[in-house]
């Protein structure tokens, strides 16, 4: 079997990223320890090249490898986002890994490998290819979560993530095998045809669909499949947590939407109600439990669950009965917009946690932020911007993201869902503002002033600047991103 | 609709100049922060004066309009402009901010730079609320305002500041949540594909939808006013906030709620506004009497003024929902009056708090002997708050009561009872503070006002008497816009408006009687 060259050029970005990972693994042992940063910069360079390659090809719809992979503007949008997020993670890690004394260059290799997995997920038009992507992403994450290998919490995080992740992959795979039984193929196009032919009440399709939804529910950490999230987020190294919260969630949502709309578009009434239930539970649990957290990483874990709930509003809209194609596509574009904005603010918040040190450890307790505004005005201000944006208060980008989601919901006739979402947005303001309150309105104790410091590295500063620029610029001038998301969303049915 | 401003973006300049001040403060040294804050807010005041000078009083259309597309899909515009309803509030905001900077001159000793930044950002946000002509833009300013106010209360406030700040924030945020949904629903049900406030006002909505939207708007605006029973955040926020925070909160932020009723509820939802009028009127009357009653019981000066605010804002909502020219003009005038009078009272309390570090009446009594000038000012503002004829509040309350009288004699009678109660609690408070027995421990700390404090209070006193004796210039500004608003309401009015009674004894002066004659609407 020979692979046509044209197929390889279609997946050129994926190949470049894998190549960078392989080169890194080869060079790592032979490079002197002092030059390891070079490898990180090589990865960033690769991402920049990939960004331009993907951006240049945006707008076309190409299939490759006999329709196993599709590169359309929907996939390209997510890929562009993933490059940005991966780049920020690498830049953040350069200083962070040194601070934690785990600066092994393999780390960047695993980031590139999991990025490859995510790119395959967003480009896959076949369930098995998507599954392949999910596994490549997840396995890299299992390793990265346990990267602080001298710390019990990190190992625990890795093990928990592995066991639950493997379990959810099993469910997903079981769903895929059942749908293969129903459709005779794992390609989304053929699944759609078989689903249409079998009608709404076919039990085999329904069971398969449920299992697939559960599998993806784990990956996007939707309630009730969220149990792993707080422990894994808390234990993993902070830059990995950021990457997990942002990139893995974005890629999983991208693949989830494609599978639902392209594969199960014919049975929308069957899944939209189920997703609606998940969405409401996720909003409630994520926002309520976040209130009582005293560990910021854990709080942000619940906040990321809550944000998955908001994004699910868009999924519900995309699948809601009786909505016109234009409205459904608005649901999709609002998710894309939301997760893009979410990436910037979450990345920024985790970057702040990563550089705040208490003693030799990370400042991940809420108390460590006490009186930060007195000692580091700039840092406290940045954290406030991220928190305000996460709460969805204008003029930050978080508001724009929520605004478009709720627009889509009202447009689909789900006004009450928008009300529920907004009520929980008001609830979320409580725990986000608690961070602001601790930073601005409490006096630091004297030993705290001695112990806590900010471990700024030049690259982490770049990440923070990038994140805050994204949060503010997208809040004030969201036009370009909105139009890109809108035009990219059309390529899904 | 566009009455152009001759091309020069006056409104944008006024709204965003404070942010220029913020940039300057960031670049300058900490010691310069106050001076830059004062300079920036004074320049904003100067730049806002041309709006008044060039304002065309004969038209109800928006003036100084600027409209640029901001987001293409859905169509959201950066659209700003002023009319007779918003102009007085814009001027009130620009007028009070420099005074707030001045009153914080010595009382804010820590993190001065951040304080001035918060104050200026707050000014931008509140001005934006009053001039926004696009509903999304309005909402953005409306919410943005929360953050600097949260910081002002929480960082520079009193002992219980964190609780007050969070209560303020969550209360107002929860209120405005439904507003956002209502805005989006309006967008889809108008079928105009626009968030433009004037376009949305011209569409007709079904009565059921109007009822839903009315209560969604109500949730946001009533919390902000605050109307009974959503007022509980106000005493906490007022008491804990630093003086400048209290002044801005009472004088400007509360007006955002009543402005919302005037700008959105009445023109967009006329049927619902009309059918729910009895409920709002009832709540307003309760607020007037309950606020006054609560004010009696307070031993804390700031808390007393806070409850008097609840009572006075009751008059404003009363006037708005009387839905006749007298009521609404009185309400707008009362908004300005309350800003000046209550602002003045809070400034007075701030001045005495700087000396005694106590807001308790018992610690601050007998000031007439030790601080005669201060006592004079305090008495002026207090009497203005009572509504003594010749002072500003009298004119506003008189118009409001007149308007209410046309709607229901019973409601007007009850509201008038509120005026009497106000006289009682204010005079009782004056008796203790001004003429009481001085507290021995405090006597050594008391000294009369310095030039800076004179500078803060004199302009306010000037307006107290100007509006009290000659309100025509301010009333003229709002006539055309209020008429226009009434016209929209009258179209759907089914109730018969009895002929207004203008007894000769109630005529204030030549100017205001001519106002009444001209503006009286007949069925």
Could you tell me if residue B201 is inside a domain?
A: no
Helix axes A73-99, A458-476, angle to 10 degrees: 140
Across the interface, whether the CB atoms of A441 and B174 are under 8 A apart is answered no
Could you tell me if residue B292 is inside a domain?
A: yes
C-beta separation of A238 from A96 below 8 A:
yes
For residue B139, the chain A residues in CB contact (below 8 A) are 394
- Rounded CA gap, A311 and B171, in Å? 26
Could you tell me if residue B79 is inside a domain?
A: no
For residue A410, the chain B residues in CB contact (below 8 A) are 181, 184-185, 188
Distance from CA of B180 to the nearest CA of A (A): 8
Across the interface, whether the CB atoms of A415 and B181 are under 8 A apart is answered yes
Across the interface, whether the CB atoms of A410 and B73 are under 8 A apart is answered no
Could you tell me if residue B202 is inside a domain?
A: no
Could you tell me if residue B81 is inside a domain?
A: no
Could you tell me if residue B309 is inside a domain?
A: yes
Distance from CA of A394 to the nearest CA of B (A): 5
The DSSP call for residue B60 is -
**Across A28-113, where does the E strand assignment appear?**
62-64, 69-71
Distance from CA of A330 to the nearest CA of B (A): 11
C-alpha separations of B70 from A362, A487, B73, B75, B194 in Å: 41, 18, 9, 8, 12
- Rounded CA gap, B194 and B198, in Å? 10
Could you tell me if residue B140 is inside a domain?
A: no
**A431 in contact with chain B, both atoms CB, cutoff 8 A:** no
Q: What pLDDT, on a 0 to 100 scale, did the predictor assign at position B523?
A: 39
Distance from CA of B27 to the nearest CA of A (A): 13
Q: What pLDDT, on a 0 to 100 scale, did the predictor assign at position B509?
A: 44
Q: Which residue range forms the structural domain that includes residue B420? A: 276-517
Percent above pLDDT 90 for chain B: 37
Q: What is the mean predicted confidence (pLDDT) over A188-197? A: 91
For residue B187, the chain A residues in CB contact (below 8 A) are 407
Confidence class for position A248, pLDDT limits 50, 70, 90: very high
Angle at B472 between CA B469 and CA B475, to 5 degrees: 120
Tens of pLDDT, residue by residue over B126-178, are 999 999 999 999 999 999 999 999 999 988 988 888 999 999 998 899 888 88
Tens of pLDDT, residue by residue over B208-244, are 899 999 999 999 999 998 888 888 899 889 888 999 9
Confidence class for position A390, pLDDT limits 50, 70, 90: very high
Q: What is the mean predicted confidence (pLDDT) over B449-474? A: 88
Tens of pLDDT, residue by residue over A432-489, are 999 999 998 888 877 777 777 888 888 999 999 999 999 999 999 998 999 999 888 8
Question: Which tokens is B22 given?
Answer: 């913020």
Q: A392's torsion region: left (phi>0), alpha (psi -120 to 50) or beta? A: left
C-alpha separations of A165 from A300, B236, B349 in Å: 20, 49, 62
Q: What pLDDT, on a 0 to 100 scale, did the predictor assign at position B519?
A: 43
- Interface probe for A, chosen from B145, B165, B184 (most Cβ of A below 10 Å), is B184
Q: What is the mean predicted confidence (pLDDT) over B478-491? A: 80
Strand order across the beta sheet in which A452-454 lies: A361-362, A356-358, A452-454
Number of domains in chain B: 1
Confidence class for position B492, pLDDT limits 50, 70, 90: low
Could you tell me if residue B178 is inside a domain?
A: no
C-beta separation of A414 from A317 below 8 A:
yes
Q: Which residue of A has its CA nearest to B110?
A: A374
Choose the closest CB to A426 out of B72, B74, B177: B177
Q: In terms of Cα–Cα distance, which of B348, B367, B386 is closest to B433?
A: B367
**A483 in contact with chain B, both atoms CB, cutoff 8 A:** yes
- Interface probe for B, chosen from A341, A381, A398, A403 (most Cβ of B below 10 Å), is A403
Distance from CA of A292 to the nearest CA of B (A): 16
For residue B155, the chain A residues in CB contact (below 8 A) are 373, 440-441
Confidence class for position B504, pLDDT limits 50, 70, 90: very low
**A423 in contact with chain B, both atoms CB, cutoff 8 A:** yes
For residue B71, the chain A residues in CB contact (below 8 A) are 478-479, 482
Question: Which tokens is A281 given?
Answer: 């539970």
User: Counting beta carbons within 10 angstroms of the beta carbon of residue B441, is it exposed (0 to 12), middle (13 to 18) or buried (19 or more)?
Assistant: exposed
Q: Which residue has the higher pLDDT, B357 or B283?
A: B283
Across the interface, whether the CB atoms of A482 and B114 are under 8 A apart is answered no
**Across B151-294, where does the E strand assignment appear?**
none
Residue B228 φ/ψ, nearest 5 degrees: -60, 135
Residues of B with CB under 8 A from a CB of A: 70-74, 111, 114, 136, 139-140, 143-144, 146-147, 150-151, 154-155, 161-162, 165-166, 169-170, 173-174, 177-178, 180-181, 184-185, 187-188
C-beta separation of A6 from A83 below 8 A:
no
For residue B114, the chain A residues in CB contact (below 8 A) are 373, 377
3-state secondary structure of A396: coil
Neighbours of A447 (CB within 10 A): 8
Cα-Cα-Cα-Cα torsion B397, B399, B400, B402, nearest 10 degrees, comes to 120
- For A:368-387, CB contacts with B below 8 A are 373, 377, 384
- Rounded CA gap, A308 and A323, in Å? 22
Average pLDDT of chain A?
91
pLDDT over 50 (residue A45): yes
pTM of the model: 0.91
Choose the closest CB to A441 out of B147, B161, B180: B161
> What DSSP element (H or E) covers B76?
strand B76-82
Alpha helices (runs of H) in B371-450, residue ranges in sequence order: 372-386, 392-407, 409-435, 440-443
């Amino acid at each position: 079997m020979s692979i046509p060259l044209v197929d390889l050029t279609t997946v050129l970005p994926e190949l470049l990223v894998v190549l960078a990972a392989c080169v890194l693994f080869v060079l790592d042992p032979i490079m002197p320890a002092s030059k390891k940063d070079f490898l990180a910069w090589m990865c960033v360079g690769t991402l920049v090249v990939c960004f331009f390659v993907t951006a240049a090809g945006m707008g076309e719809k190409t299939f490759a490898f006999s329709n196993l992979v599709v590169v359309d503007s929907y996939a390209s949008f997510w890929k562009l986002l993933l490059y940005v997020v991966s780049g920020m993670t690498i830049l953040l890690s350069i200083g962070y890994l040194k601070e934690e004394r785990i600066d092994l260059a393999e780390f960047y290799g695993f980031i590139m490998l999991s990025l490859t997995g995510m790119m395959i997920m967003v480009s896959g038009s076949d369930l098995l290819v998507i599954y392949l992507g999910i596994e490549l992403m997840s396995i890299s994450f299992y390793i990265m979560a346990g990267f602080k290998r001298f710390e019990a919490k990190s190992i625990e995080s890795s093990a928990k993530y592995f066991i639950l992740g493997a379990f959810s992959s099993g469910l997903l795979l079981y769903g895929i095998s059942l749908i293969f039984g129903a459709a005779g193929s794992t390609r989304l196009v053929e699944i759609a045809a078989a689903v249409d032919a079998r009608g709404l009440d076919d039990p085999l399709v329904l069971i398969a669909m449920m299992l697939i939804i559960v599998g993806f529910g784990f990956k996007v950490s939707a309630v009730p499949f969220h149990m792993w999230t707080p422990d894994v987020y808390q234990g993993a190294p902070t830059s990995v947590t950021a990457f997990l919260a942002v990139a893995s969630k974005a890629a999983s949502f991208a693949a989830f939407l494609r599978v639902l709309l392209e594969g199960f578009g014919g049975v929308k009434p069957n899944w939209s109600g189920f997703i609606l239930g998940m969405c409401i539970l996720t909003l409630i649990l994520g926002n309520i439990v976040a209130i009582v957290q005293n560990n910021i990483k854990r709080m942000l874990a619940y906040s990321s669950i809550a944000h998955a709930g908001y994004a699910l509003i868009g999924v519900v809209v995309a699948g809601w009965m009786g909505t016109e194609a234009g409205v459904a596509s608005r649901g999709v574009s609002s998710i894309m917009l939301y997760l893009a904005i979410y990436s910037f603010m979450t990345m920024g918040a985790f970057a702040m946690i990563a550089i705040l040190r208490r003693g030799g450890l990370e400042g991940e307790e809420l108390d460590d932020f006490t009186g930060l505004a007195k000692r580091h005005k700039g840092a406290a201000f940045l954290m406030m911007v991220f928190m305000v944006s996460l709460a969805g208060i204008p003029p930050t980008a978080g508001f724009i993201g929520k605004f478009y989601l709720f627009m889509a919901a009202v447009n689909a006739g789900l006004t009450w869902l928008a009300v529920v979402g907004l009520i929980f947005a008001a609830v979320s303001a409580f725990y986000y503002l608690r961070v602001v309150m601790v930073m601005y309105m409490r006096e630091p104790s004297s030993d705290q002033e001695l112990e806590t410091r900010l471990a700024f590295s030049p690259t982490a500063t770049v990440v923070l600047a990038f994140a805050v620029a994204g949060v503010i610029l997208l809040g004030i001038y969201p036009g370009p991103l909105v139009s890109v998301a809108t035009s990219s969303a059309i390529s899904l049915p | 609709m566009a009455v152009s401003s001759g091309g020069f973006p006056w409104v944008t300049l006024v709204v965003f100049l404070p942010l220029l001040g913020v940039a300057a403060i960031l670049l300058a040294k900490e010691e310069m922060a106050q001076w830059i804050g004062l300079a920036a807010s004074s320049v904003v005041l100067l730049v806002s004066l041309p709006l008044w000078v060039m304002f065309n009083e004969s038209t109800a259309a928006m003036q100084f309009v600027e409209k640029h597309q901001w987001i293409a899909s859905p169509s959201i515009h950066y659209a700003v402009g002023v009319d007779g309803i918003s102009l007085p509030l814009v001027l009130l905001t620009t007028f009070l901010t420099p005074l707030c900077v001045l009153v914080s001159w010595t009382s804010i000793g820590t993190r001065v730079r951040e304080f001035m930044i918060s104050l200026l950002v707050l000014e931008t946000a509140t001005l934006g609320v009053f001039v926004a002509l696009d509903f999304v833009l309005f909402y953005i300013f409306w919410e943005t305002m929360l953050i600097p106010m949260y910081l002002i209360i929480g960082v520079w406030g009193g002992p219980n500041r964190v609780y007050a700040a969070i209560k303020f924030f969550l209360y107002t945020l929860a209120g405005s949540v439904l507003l956002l949904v209502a805005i989006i629903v309006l967008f889809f049900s108008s079928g105009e594909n626009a968030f433009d406030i004037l376009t949305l006002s011209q569409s007709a909505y079904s009565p059921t939808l109007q009822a839903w939207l009315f209560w969604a708007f109500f949730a946001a605006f009533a919390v902000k006013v605050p109307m009974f029973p959503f007022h509980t955040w106000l005493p906490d926020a007022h008491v804990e906030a630093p003086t400048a925070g209290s002044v801005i909160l009472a004088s400007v932020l509360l007006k955002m709620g009543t402005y919302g009723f005037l700008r959105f509820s009445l023109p967009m939802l006329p049927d619902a506004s009309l059918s729910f009028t009895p409920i709002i009127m009832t709540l307003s009357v309760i607020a007037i009497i309950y606020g006054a009653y609560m004010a009696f019981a307070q031993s804390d000066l700031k808390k007393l003024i806070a409850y008097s605010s609840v009572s006075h804002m009751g008059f404003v909502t009363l006037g708005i929902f009387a839905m006749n020219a007298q009521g609404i003009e009185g309400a707008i005038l009362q908004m300005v009056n309350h800003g000046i009078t209550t602002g003045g009272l809070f400034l007075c309390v701030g001045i005495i708090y700087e000396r005694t570090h106590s807001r308790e009446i018992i610690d601050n009594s007998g000031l007439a002997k030790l601080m005669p000038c201060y006592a004079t000012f305090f008495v002026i503002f207090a009497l203005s708050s009572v509504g003594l004829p010749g002072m500003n509040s009298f004119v506003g309350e008189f118009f409001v009561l007149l308007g209410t009288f046309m709607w229901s004699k019973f409601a007007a009678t009850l509201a008038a009872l509120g005026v009497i109660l106000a006289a009682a609690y204010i005079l009782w408070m004056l008796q203790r503070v001004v003429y009481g027995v001085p507290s021995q421990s405090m006597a050594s700390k008391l000294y009369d006002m310095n030039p800076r404090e004179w500078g803060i209070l004199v302009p306010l006193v000037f307006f107290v008497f100007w509006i009290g004796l000659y309100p025509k210039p301010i009333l003229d500004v709002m006539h055309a816009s209020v008429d226009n608003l009434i016209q929209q309401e009258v179209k759907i009015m089914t109730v018969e408006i009895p002929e207004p009674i203008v007894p000769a004894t109630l005529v204030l002066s030549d100017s205001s009687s001519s106002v009444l004659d001209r503006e009286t609407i007949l069925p």
